[in-house]
Chains A and B, each alone.
Chain A
């Protein structure tokens, strides 16, 4: 235990925790997106509802869910501690600072993009997870919750904006985690960057297809 406390106490150790939990959260995105694609099955939501039911009752999934919440907690807590210390490391800012000359925007706004994604996460859980998990009898099926939420243009726009920021967050975060683990070299670099594209571009695009589809069918397609 002492080893892990010592690692967590150091700044590199904290970065390691942020990277490790971040990559775990990335694997969750893959599962989440794969399941959500059932929304597109043309059966009035039967397959999606069945998937959603399984997810909330399966003992293995419920166990992994605890690990997932712990990963979120430590990712956010540790990143916040680092952000706070980093602010203290430069008490007086430069009058003129050409940051764009030496670094990418995504890497500089990681904490900001993460904070907005966190706000999104809270609202997202409130819209879907909380009603279906804790008050299932008082609420319609998960599919109906999705249709209802995505019938609101404002909710969809907020959802899409959050996905853009998630993309920014992962554009930096995914490859950054490998650098933190010390996995860098000619052999791995291009592989990490290519897999990174899946996470920062394709996965957010996949999630974005859902509000766009439902908004379109609600307003223009005439739901059957």
Chain B
């Protein structure tokens, strides 16, 4: 397969970026999108040109590093997968593929397709933790948790913090990310002590970082590689109102 790529190139945080066109040739349908970019970069290096910078780590959809906007979609045209799990068979031979970084005030571009997602870290530092002295490893099932609750908490905890929710949202809102983190702890006994402070602090930090608010378009849920449900946002709103009014 052969493709024409239109890729955002930006030297650093302060420089103006622009699109550059590249051709990807001899690509097999089984290659992942990142492997295709590797092949393009290989050609660029051989021609003594600067390779395209992009974030990646595990390449199996669990680290949340490889966020990019591919053909108008966060993580590209697929459901429930990160860019590293996107295969070239999802495209038609000869396609023009536009690749851009996730765009948000709170996610400044560092270089090409790499963005600074430390705003998420600061939201976590504001309250996305449990302050307990963990001590030794506790016995399994020492704290009984119903299976349905454990499953619900786990589905929220599946968030890999990739930022696709922010990228897809028309308001660049981090609501789904914050909601997943608030939910996973609000559902479990270990998260109860700091329940009120947590939701208020994390939402305040979200606003401070310059993310938008939720317009309930549910684009985040549709584009989330882990398919985190927007019912978590409803839970976060509930948690916030209870904390603020209580």
Report A's interface with B, CB cutoff 8 A: 3, 6-7, 10-16, 82, 85-86, 88-99, 101-104, 107-108, 110, 172, 175-176, 179-185
A95/B213 contact (C-beta < 8 A), A7-B244, A10-B240, A180-B237 known: no
Q: Choose the segment among B32-40, B48-56, B153-161, B215-223 that binds chain A (4+ C-beta atoms closer than 8 Å).
A: B215-223
Q: B219, A99: Cβ atoms under 8 Å?
A: yes
The complex places the Cα of A99 from the Cα of B220 at a distance, in Å, of 11
Q: Quick one: closest B residue to A107, CB to CB?
A: B217
A95/B98 contact (C-beta < 8 A), A10-B204, A86-B173, A88-B105 known: yes
The complex places the Cα of A183 from the Cα of B235 at a distance, in Å, of 8
B104 CB, nearest partner CB in chain A, Å:
6
Q: Which of chain B's residues have a CB closer than 8 A to the CB of A181?
A: 237-238, 241
A103/B203 contact (C-beta < 8 A), A12-B240, A98-B73 known: no
Q: A107, B216: Cβ atoms under 8 Å?
A: yes
26 contacts between A and B (CB under 8 A): A10-B207, A11-B207, A11-B214, A12-B203, A15-B213, A15-B214, A15-B237, A86-B173, A88-B210, A89-B104, A89-B105, A90-B105, A94-B69, A94-B72, A94-B103, A96-B72, A97-B69, A99-B170, A101-B222, A102-B218, A172-B216, A179-B216, A179-B233, A180-B214, A180-B237, A181-B241
The complex places the Cα of A12 from the Cα of B235 at a distance, in Å, of 12
Q: B222, A89: Cβ atoms under 8 Å?
A: no
> Which of A15, A89, A92, A104 has the most chain B CB atoms inside 10 A of its CB?
A89
Q: Which of chain B's residues have a CB closer than 8 A to the CB of A93?
A: 103
Q: B172, A89: Cβ atoms under 8 Å?
A: yes
Q: Which of chain A's residues have a CB closer than 8 A to the CB of B240?
A: 10, 12-13
0/1 string, B65-78, CB within 8 A of A gives 1: 00001011100010
Q: A10, B203: Cβ atoms under 8 Å?
A: yes
Q: Which of chain A's residues have a CB closer than 8 A to the CB of B98?
A: 95-96
